[in-house]
Amino acid sequence: MSKFKITCVAPSYNHEKFVGFFIESVLNQTEQNFELIIVDDGSQDKNVDAILKFKDKRIKLIRHEYNKGIGQALNTAFKFARGKYIVFAGTDDIFEPVHFETVSRYLDTNPNVGAYYCSCSLIDNKNNKIEDLNNMYVRKNINRFDILNTIFFLGNNLLDPGKAIRYKIVKKQIPFSASLLSLSDVQSHVKVALNSDIYTSDKKLVKYRFSGVSNTKCDFFYRREQLETELLMDSFLKIKDIGLLEKIFKNKIAEINLLPFKDTIPYFLGRMALLSDNNTRKEWGYRTILRFLENETNFSVVYKRYNQDFKDLYNLMKDIP
């Protein structure tokens, strides 16, 4: 049986200026049945000293000898988690006081839902409010099939700060990827949506610290995301449920009249990716098809299922810039 209602896991790196505000927001929760596990990931500032100022016995600090990344920090934290629900946080953000109470009450009364994703308000580095003029950090409820469809064809459509996931669902994700950075949260969203229903709320339960970045940094982040997309897309290859595939890709299946079969899933997903407007995803789709058809038996199966031969494979590349 879980010892705590909530385990909050929080990787922390060079957040000396912000971590105190974060910890205070955890300690001020209206739901007090929680533990907080902070993993200092090799910080170069006085982050650890700022954390140690708090003496609450529900706070566990674990220190990495060197910087290992978000994925490894989460893997470390989860080894010690004893809560019924796992809340994910960055130690530069701030929780609204009712966060833990709101997410745990919803998950308690909706046992078929595996995860609760909230919306965010924005703050700057001095904790001043920033107006979210286009409501970019507000989400209304989206079913998991639409979530997976959007991530597959376009990109992320969920907000990571403050997400709450049932322990048993998180356990299926372990270990988290040690290499992904830009898309580590998106890969987590995919794994959650593949295993359970998700509730996305328009309640702003987290103050997300937003820092403007230069065009150079934007270009760097965009390029890194491109490079990580292939590993993200590989997550969809783990799907074995044909019914799930039919729900995720319902419209595209009708558009090109291509059904998934258990013996053609990589080929099917490759063909779906070729319908994306995102060139990186198209390239992943074509490479996935090539890898699948390297096996002569698979080529025969594709011909049998879809009447596709080598010239048809060659023509698939025409839509890739």
Query: How sure is the predictor about 1, in pLDDT bands with cuts at 50, 70 and 90?
Result: low
CATH code of the domain covering residue 73: 3.90.550.10
Residues 139 and 266 occupy one common structural domain: no
pLDDT at 212: 63
Report yes or no on 152 lying in a domain: yes
Range of the domain at 101: 4-215
**Is residue 290's pLDDT more than 90?**
yes
Q: What is the pLDDT of residues 62-72, one digit of tens each?
A: 999 999 999 99
**Domain shared by 277 and 147, yes or no:** no
Q: How many CB atoms lie within 10 A of CB 311?
A: 7
Inside any domain, residue 223: no
CA distances from 315 to 272, 274, 290, 312, 318 (A): 15, 12, 13, 5, 6
Is residue 224's pLDDT more than 90? no
Cα-Cα end-to-end distance for the chain = 54
Same domain, 174 and 114: yes
The answer on 163 and 63 residing in a single domain is: yes
Contact 116, 107 (CB under 8 A): yes
Q: What average pLDDT does the chain have?
A: 94
Amino acid at site 115 = A
Nearest in space to 209 (alpha carbons), one of 62, 63, 89: 89
Question: Per-residue confidence at 152, pLDDT binned at 50, 70, 90?
Answer: very high
β-bridge mates for residue 37, sequence order: 9, 60
Q: Residue 210's pLDDT is what?
A: 87
Clarify whether residues 254 and 185 are in a common domain: no
Q: Is the pLDDT of residue 217 over 50?
A: yes
The predicted model gives 168-191 an average pLDDT of 92
Do 93 and 138 sit in the same domain of this protein? yes
Residue 17 lies in a domain: yes
On the question of pLDDT at 214 being above 60, the answer is: no
C-beta neighbour count of 189 within 10 angstroms: 25
Q: How many domains does the chain have?
A: 2
Residue 226 lies in a domain: no
Q: Residue 315: what pLDDT?
A: 86
Distance, CA of 9 to CA of 207 (rounded, Å): 17
Nearest to 61 by CA among 29, 35, 34, 97: 35
37/170 same-domain check: yes
Averaged pLDDT, 10-24: 97
